[in-house]
Amino acid sequence: MKVHLKALGCRLNEAELEQWSQEFRSAGHQIVPSAPDADVLVLNTCAVTSDASGKSRRLMHRLYRENPEARLVVSGCYATLQADEVAEAIGVDLVVPNTEKDRLPQTVMQRFELPLMPAMATEPGETPLFMRGRQRAFIKIQDGCRYRCTFCIVTVARGDERSRSETEIIAEINALQQQGAQEAVLTGVHVGGYGSDIGSSLYTLVQKILQETDIPRLRFASVEPWDLPDDFFALFSNPRLLPHMHLPLQSGADSILRRMARRCKTAEFASLVAEARRAVPGFNVTTDIIVGFPGETEAEWDETCAYVESVGFGHMHIFTYSAREGTKAARLPDPVPEPVKKQRSQVLHALGERMKQGFLQEQVGKSVPVLWEYARENPDGQRIYTGYTPNYYKVVVTVADNALLENRITQTRLHGVNVCDGVLQGSLENEI
C-alpha cells in the first residue's frame, strides 16, 4: 500500500509522522511524497490557535479533493478537540484521537485490512526522513502535560503525561542513524516531565541515549523551564548533547506569569539560564513570549522588555495573544486592544533582532562542526548551503565546486554575519 503522511503544527506532530512512517515501512508499505499517488492519506492536525484549526480543516478538505479515492485518516489536536465535526466531514474514513495515535499505523492496517508484508520492508528506497528534505530526526519521548497554563489548549487536546520507554526511544534513534540521520531532536509536550510515570527521568534518558547510541548530535526541541532534573546541565559536558535550549518564558512580569498559571517565575528562569551558560560558555537560550495577554498593563509590558533585555536571548518567537476557545484565559477580562498589541510586538521584535545580532557577532572567529541541511543557488549559479552550529545558529557557506553537503558535518570557520538575513557566514575546514 502507498501511504502519504502530512503534519501541521509542532515538532511533536513531525516526530509522530516519523514514528508512523517507520512502522508502515516495517510492515512493508511504501511512504509516498504526494497525495495523488497514495492509497491511504494520514493527516496529523494542529489546534494551538483558531487559525491552526482552520488550516487543519482546509488541508483535510484539500487532501480529499486531491485524491477522493484514497482512505483519509485524520489525527492530532484538531481531530481530538472537534472529533464529531471531523468524523462527519466529507471523505474522512477514520478519526484517531491523540490518546490512540501511538497505535495509528496498526489501527489503520487493521481497519482497512492492509496486508502485512515485512519482506517488502527491505525494499531499497529513500528514507521518509530525507524524502521530506529533513536531516534532523524529531523523536517523540513523551506526550501530554499535568499543568494547566491558562492560555494553553495543548494540555486539553493531548491529555495526561505518558512517557515512551527508554528502550523504544533508543531503538528508534539507532534505526534512524542506520538510515543516515546525524542529529536527533528530543520532543514532547512537557519534556521535563519525562519518566515521571515510568520511574525514569530526562537525565537518565539522555545519559542512556549518549551511552547506547552513536548519534553524532543530540538536541532538545522546546522544553518548559521547570521540572528539569537536578544536575541536568552536567549532561552538556558531553559535546554530542548540543548547547542550545528553547525555554518558553511567555512573559517577563511575574504578575502575568501568575495569571498564566506558569510554574516558572522570572527569578527561577534567570537562574536556570545562568546555570546553562555556566555549564557551557556560549550556551544559546531561545524563547517564546506572548504579547498582549489579557490585562497586560503598560507597567507589566515595561517589566517584560527590561527582563528580556537583562537575560538576553539568541532568538525569540513572539506571539500576539489571541483568545483560544476552551482555555481559561479566553474568559479573562481586560483584553489588550489590537493596535496596542501590534505596537508592543514591533517593539519586542526590534529588541529581539538587536539581541540576536549581538549573539551572532559573538560567534565570529569560532571554528565549529556544522551539519549541512539544504542548498539553494544564488543568481551566479553558485550553490549555497545552510546548516546549524551546535548552539543552533544558522550558517551559510558557498561551495565553489558544487560539492554535495546534504547531511554532512564539516568543521567550519565562522567568519562573518549577514546582518540582513541574520545568519552566520562560514568557510569549510574539514569533514568530520
Is 150 or 213 the residue whose CB approaches ligand SF4 more closely? 150
Among 149, 241, 336, 428, contact with ligand SF4 (rule: CB under 6 A): 149
Binders in 286-345 for ligand SF4, by CB under 6 A: none
The answer to whether 112 and 119 are in contact (CB under 8 A) is: no
Among 183, 224, 227, 303, contact with ligand SF4 (rule: CB under 6 A): 224
Among 63, 72, 129, 145, contact with ligand SF4 (rule: CB under 6 A): 145
**Shortest distance (Å) from residue 390 CB to ligand SF4:** 26
| 221 near ligand SF4, judged by CB under 6 A | no
Say how many residues make up the chain: 432
**Shortest distance (Å) from residue 144 CB to ligand SF4:** 8
| 264 near ligand SF4, judged by CB under 6 A | no
Residues 369 and 381: their CA atoms lie apart, in Å, by 26
| 190 near ligand SF4, judged by CB under 6 A | yes
Is 77 or 428 the residue whose CB approaches ligand SF4 more closely? 77
Residues 339 and 352: their CA atoms lie apart, in Å, by 20
The answer to whether 240 and 215 are in contact (CB under 8 A) is: yes
- Lay out the sheet containing 217-220: strands in order across: 136-140, 183-187, 217-220
**Shortest distance (Å) from residue 342 CB to ligand SF4:** 24
Among 1, 46, 104, 152, contact with ligand SF4 (rule: CB under 6 A): 152
| 148 near ligand SF4, judged by CB under 6 A | yes
Is 14 or 224 the residue whose CB approaches ligand SF4 more closely? 224
**Shortest distance (Å) from residue 154 CB to ligand SF4:** 5
Burial of 133 (0-12, 13-18, 19+ CB in 10 A): exposed
Strand pairing class (217-220; 142-143) = unpaired
The answer to whether 289 and 348 are in contact (CB under 8 A) is: yes
Among 21, 155, 389, 407, contact with ligand SF4 (rule: CB under 6 A): 155
**Shortest distance (Å) from residue 287 CB to ligand SF4:** 13
The C-alpha angle with vertex 110 and arms to 12 and 142, in degrees rounded to 5, equals: 20
| 154 near ligand SF4, judged by CB under 6 A | yes
3-state helix, strand, coil split of the chain in percent (to 5) is: 40, 25, 35
Is 152 or 185 the residue whose CB approaches ligand SF4 more closely? 152
Among 112, 147, 203, 374, contact with ligand SF4 (rule: CB under 6 A): 147
Total of chain residues touching ligand SF4, rule CB under 6 A? 10
C-alpha cell at 138: 524529531
The answer to whether 398 and 375 are in contact (CB under 8 A) is: no
Q: For residue 304, which phi and psi values (nearest 5 degrees)?
A: -60, -45
Please give the residue ranges that form the binding site for ligand SF4 (CB under 6 A): 145, 147-149, 152, 154-155, 189-190, 224
